[in-house]
Amino acid sequence: MHLGLVLTAPPDVLEQVPVEQMEQAGAWALFLRCFEDELRWRAPVVANFSQRVHEQHLRLFLVPAGYGILAAEQQPSSLFVQVHPDTRQVDNRGRRLQRACPNNPRYLEWFTTSMRTLAWMIEADGFAWEEPGFHFGRGGWSCRCHYCEELYVGRELNPLPMELTPSLLSLRQQSVAMLVTAASAAVKSVDSGLASLVMPTPGPQTGAVPTGNENWRSLAAAEGVDGLVLTWPPAAYGEGGTGGAVGFCTAARAWLPPTAPLLLRLMCCRDLTETEITLQQLRQVGVQAVLIEDSSLYLGQKRPGRRAEELFGVIETVTRADRGRSGPAISSPTDN
């Protein structure tokens, strides 16, 4: 099994991230969540961090946050969307939301250009598109903008319904698949070896949360997509513990094409012993790669804290038997 870490760290503290210790513990890759507002001014700092990561023979995947539609729960605003409110999604009550509509051509052009620029500025092994999709929650859903309306009418020859009908759900899924295809094409135009992964909205099974990215099979089959990153447990930041991860992975496999790479993002709970037991169980059933995300982990200091040292110990224990083996079969420059 290969283990990676999902990091959320502002550029100012990246210099303190103990990349060397991560490599010594047996980590395979770092997935760095990069916020739009920070990258606008501090992209060179992230580029220097990328060089440090590769010097330690680790892979670096960028997880852009913001940009109108990615990881919207963590960074709902976007400067482009604020300046161009006409690109925002329209909910079923007629209100403009903070999220951008993937069917808006003006937004799509800006978004793909921004991702292409990131791929050019920062030497990464790939990108992970985190929870791209439409708004859904508290009785509200989107999008009812005129672009979505035109697409629906042209496809179904009927007016856009007032409820989330199966045909409208299908259109939303198609729209998200086209968005990640466009994003993948943008970054791969810089380097065809860059991996393109999709992180759907966390759910206990495919179709559970209708945001447009709920159809795992459709996402995995989208052109340019190299694999999925599914999250366990669905509850945010491990509030429900890590138990059930093995059953979740087994069930998820049944929804995906046999050749589609599947990575698991495991949200750590407070007790790292439970996390270690879960990782060992996943290893025994042949799970290829797991990305660990720990909301309690803070790396903005010269020396790793106690939590970091304990987590590195877990990684070292779990990966000891797999040292020297090649990483998951995901497209990247290091595979060529």
Alpha helices per DSSP H over 56-165: 79-83, 105-121, 146-156
Residue of 333, 279, 300 lying closest to 27 (CA atoms): 279
Among 207, 91, 212, CA closest to 141: 91
Distance CA 131, CA 81 (A): 18
Q: Per residue in 292-327, pLDDT tens?
A: 999 877 776 667 788 889 999 999 999 987 665 656
Please state, in angstroms and as integers, the Cα–Cα distance from residue 3 to each residue in 31, 118, 187, 220, following that order.
11, 25, 24, 21
Pick from 140, 169, 143: nearest CA to 156:
169
More confident residue, 61 or 324: 61
Q: What is the pTM of this model?
A: 0.92
Q: What is the CA radius of gyration of the chain?
A: 20
* Cα-based torsion angle of the residue sequence 29, 35, 41, 45 in order, rounded to the nearest 10 degrees: -20
User: Any residues with CB less than 8 A from the CB of 165 and at least 6 apart, and which?
Assistant: none
Name the 3-class secondary structure at 87. helix
* pLDDT tens column, 186-223: 999 999 999 999 999 998 888 888 999 999 999 999 99
- What is the C-alpha to C-alpha distance for residues 129 and 67, in angstroms, rounded to an integer? 11
Residue 237: pLDDT band with limits 50, 70, 90: very low
How much is the average pLDDT of 81-106? Answer: 95
Tokens of 309: 């040292």
Cα separation, 105 vs 197, in Å, equals 23
Report the alpha-carbon distance of residue 289 to residue 272 in Å, rounded. 18
Assess contact for 315 and 289: CB atoms under 8 A.
no
H helix and E strand count, the chain: 10, 12
pLDDT at 130: 96
Structural domains of the chain in order of their starting residue, each with its CATH number = 2-228+254-261+310-335 (3.20.20.80)
List the structure tokens of 24: 């010594």
- pLDDT per position as a tens digit, 122-174: 999 999 999 999 999 888 999 999 999 999 999 999 999 999 999 999 999 99
Neighbours of 86 (CB within 10 A): 12
Nearest-angstrom CA–CA distance, 20 and 317:
17
How far apart are the C-alpha atoms of 225 and 203, rounded to whole Å?
A: 20
The pLDDT confidence band at residue 235, using thresholds 50, 70 and 90, is low
Q: For residues 271 and 177, which has the higher predicted lDDT (pLDDT)?
A: 177
> Does the structure show a pLDDT above 90 at 63?
yes
What residues form DSSP beta bridges with 141?
A: 136
